[in-house]
């Protein structure tokens, strides 16, 4: 499960903290450990990564940390570990933006599988964001008239309808449409529409 992503382990119990770090390192995961949520937040230069945190800690709980990160705009995934699980706490954790909720005592494979799932989701989200930005850039390369034609196509309008709406000939619409398809690098109308929808 080797990855460049840092796994930040936060627990006020040194034995638990070191045990989790050892487990992750045997799975070829790079870890950093912290004795509290405040110590984690104080590490200004820490690299972004996946956070594994206990719920019950002095000064700031794991859920308070998750809320703080969410409210600051952080997209770092948070996995919460607790020895005191109940339904209200699980619901509160999900509302705080926690991506997984693991009850102690847990099997090593449960934690490793959770981290693997989180890392895969983060990778997909990152790839999707790169794709979206690329589509936005392509859209911005269109002329205003090409964009008008594309907007008409996305609405499901035929060339003749678009021509009528824009006060131009259907042949001119075809030219703008062809230019837009080339600039967007779309091989079909359905692909063009997907690009525009993905770009938002």
The answer to whether residue 125 scores a pLDDT higher than 90 is no
CATH topology (fold) of 6-127: Rossmann fold (3.40.50)
pLDDT tens digits, 143-187 = 999 999 999 988 889 899 999 999 999 999 999 999 999 999 988
How far apart are the C-alpha atoms of 163 and 152, rounded to whole Å? 9
- Domain 141-199 class, CATH top level: mainly alpha
Q: What are the CA-CA distances from residue 89 to residues 92, 101, 166 (Å)?
A: 5, 9, 56
Strand segments (E) across 35-91: 49-54, 78-82
Query: For residue range 60-81, what is the model confidence (pLDDT) as tens digits?
Result: 999 999 999 888 888 888 999 8
Buried b (16+ CB within 10 A) or exposed e, 161-178: ebbeeeebeeebbeebbe
Residue with more model confidence, 17 or 131? 17
**Could you state, in order of their start, the residue ranges of all structural domains in the chain?**
6-127, 141-199
Task: Note the pTM of the prediction, 2 decimals.
Answer: 0.63
Using the predicted structure, report yes or no on whether residue 97 has a pLDDT greater than 90. Answer: no
């Amino acid at each position: 499960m080797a990855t460049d992503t840092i796994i930040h382990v936060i627990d006020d119990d040194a034995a638990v903290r070191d045990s989790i770090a050892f487990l992750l390192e045997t799975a070829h995961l790079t870890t950093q450990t912290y004795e509290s949520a405040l110590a984690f937040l104080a590490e200004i230069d820490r690299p972004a990564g996946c956070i594994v945190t206990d719920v019950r800690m002095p000064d700031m709980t794991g859920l308070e940390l998750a809320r703080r990160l969410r409210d600051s705009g952080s997209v770092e995934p948070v996995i919460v570990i607790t020895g005191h699980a109940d339904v209200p706490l699980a619901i509160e954790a999900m509302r705080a933006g926690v991506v997984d909720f693991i009850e102690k005592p847990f099997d090593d494979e449960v934690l490793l599988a959770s981290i693997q799932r989180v890392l895969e989701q983060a990778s997909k989200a990152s790839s999707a964001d790169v794709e979206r930005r690329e589509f936005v850039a392509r859209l911005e390369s269109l002329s205003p008239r090409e964009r008008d034609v594309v907007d008409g196509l996305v609405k499901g309008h035929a060339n003749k309808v678009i021509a009528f709406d824009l006060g131009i000939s259907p042949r001119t619409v075809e030219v703008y449409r062809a230019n837009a398809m080339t600039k967007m690098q779309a091989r079909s109308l359905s692909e063009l529409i997907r690009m525009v929808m993905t770009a938002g």
